Amino acid sequence: EEIRPSSRTYPGIIFQMEREPGNQILEVHDLKATDADGTVLFDNVNFNIEKGEKVVFLSHNPKAMTALFEIINGNREADNGTYKWGVTITTAYLPLDNTEFFNSDLNLVDWLSQYGTGNEVMMKGYLGRMLFKQEEVEKKVNVLSGGEKMRCMIARMQLKNANCLILDTPTNHLDLESIQAFNNNLVQFKGNILFASHDHEFINTVANRIIELTPNGTIDKLMTYDDYIYDAQIKEQKARMYS
């Protein structure tokens, strides 16, 4: 029987660093964040991110990771504590909620052009790698589906050539092929990654450090996700820190 070529189409997701990061990536001291209703999302959070680390942040409350990412991106005030980026660090942030980015009637090319230097051909190239066909790049961004918006946001990130990627639940709205392409490139990426995800395989293949945010401090381990979730001592520690 004839073997047919796969009909799957994979986007071209390639994150490249314009600048090599120094040794000082990010310092966080005594950070605290509470929800609007007064719930403590995390407290007494201290960590230093070192060169080459790809860190997944975990919590029983997913709002904790979003709060942390919003704080270190300067979009939200912490209740307490400080953070400091290294002088060589450039960031590209993929937020959980991208609604505000698409409240316009720009077409895809003009929308993407806001976020980088380059001509129309270059912007169409980025969009093409994210599987937008020639006729689709004239669409208005305010009519895009959730998956199309996510592909636009990933194209926007690639334009930045940052050496530290911050990803809040990046596999939302992506199909399997896009998730695999994203995953593969993050594994190969030479810079730092700070991320949150619900995808077990994505976490297990990308992360080399795990930081869990709790109302009573952090659990911070250099291990795989599989090792982390099955470790008996960590289970006991989590029970104490969330109590």
Question: If you search the block for the tokens 């990536």, which residue do you land on?
Answer: 25
Q: Do 190 and 78 share a domain, yes or no?
A: yes
Predicted local distance difference test score (pLDDT) of residue 9 = 84
Distance between CA 29 and CA 183 in Å, rounded? 30
Quickly list DSSP for 128-186. HHTT--GGGGGSBGGG--HHHHHHHHHHHHHHH--SEEEEESTTTT--HHHHHHHHHHH
- What is the helix (H) or strand (E) element at residue 86, kind and residue range? none
Q: Do 86 and 182 share a domain, yes or no?
A: yes
Q: Do 112 and 128 share a domain, yes or no?
A: yes
Strands 91-94 and 217-221: unpaired
Domain boundary residue, one of 159, 179, 199: 159
Q: For residue 187, is it within any domain?
A: yes
Q: For residue 148, is it within any domain?
A: yes
Q: Do 86 and 173 share a domain, yes or no?
A: yes
Domain CATH code at residue 168? 3.40.50.300
Q: Do 168 and 111 share a domain, yes or no?
A: no
Three-point CA angle 187, 170, 147, nearest 5°: 120
Q: Do 39 and 128 share a domain, yes or no?
A: no
Q: For residue 188, is it within any domain?
A: yes
Q: Do 180 and 200 share a domain, yes or no?
A: yes
Domain boundary residue, one of 159, 178, 208: 159
What total of structural domains would you count in the chain?
A: 2
Note whether 213 and 64 are within 8 A (CB). yes
Distance (Å) of CA 54 to CA 3, 70, 191, 223, 227 = 39, 18, 8, 11, 16
Note whether 224 and 204 are within 8 A (CB). yes
Predicted local distance difference test score (pLDDT) of residue 7 = 58
Q: Do 170 and 237 share a domain, yes or no?
A: yes
- What is the helix (H) or strand (E) element at residue 66, kind and residue range? helix 63-72
Distance between CA 91 and CA 83 in Å, rounded? 14
Average pLDDT per block of 10 residues along the chain, 243 residues long? 64 94 97 97 98 98 98 98 98 97 97 92 95 94 96 96 98 93 96 98 97 98 96 97 94
Predicted local distance difference test score (pLDDT) of residue 117 = 86
